[in-house]
Copies of this chain bind each other. A is one copy, B any other.
């Protein structure tokens, strides 16, 4: 049993979180969903979804998967030293890290993505230029580097989560989940028609 530590903050992007949690949360024998924030209580997504979270100070488990979503809220957090210190500690101790969308930018800011392959949202890919030590991959639905999974924008988190399930429990388990939620899983992590849409990102 893996604990999933989902790190929420105000103005997170709704589907970044609940796409992957739909998939992992169905596998109840394998994963246990937990929602945390720095101070606990109600956290609201940009789309006005109020979620109940527990405070990080109550965290006392090992063997966890850290999930870091993206969203407009990351623009403030990238300059929030206290948040970043917590994020770094959580990330160092995590067995696996899954980021969605601009969640990878937050992780990059901690330095823990240096010399690692990663991706992020294609619409704001220019943001990656602030973190030149990371080996950013433009054309990818998701990227895996050892225990760190990073995905492209918003809905890509679902494909990454299914890829993570395939790596952990086998392809058949992942495929079955995708069928049960009637989802057209992009099994190929290099599928990415969105990578060429934004001209400011092309070389």
CB contacts (< 8 Å) of A197 on chain B: these are 179
CB contacts (< 8 Å) of A26 on chain B: these are 46-47
CB contacts (< 8 Å) of A24 on chain B: these are 47
State how many copies of this chain the complex holds: 2
Number of interface residues, chain A, beta carbon within 8 A: 43
Q: Does A180 contact B (CB under 8 A)?
A: yes
The answer on a CB contact under 8 Å between A49 and B181 is no
Q: Closest Cβ of chain B: how far from A89's Cβ, in Å? A: 24
Q: Closest Cβ of chain B: how far from A142's Cβ, in Å? A: 11
Contact A186/B184 with A15-B22, A22-B154, A48-B25 known, Cβ cut-off 8 Å:
yes
Q: Closest Cβ of chain B: how far from A132's Cβ, in Å? A: 24
Q: Closest Cβ of chain B: how far from A120's Cβ, in Å? A: 11
Q: Does A42 contact B (CB under 8 A)?
A: yes
Q: List chain A positions with a Cβ less than 8 A from chain B.
A: 13-15, 17-19, 21-22, 24-26, 32-35, 42, 45-52, 121-123, 152-156, 158, 179-184, 186, 193-194, 197
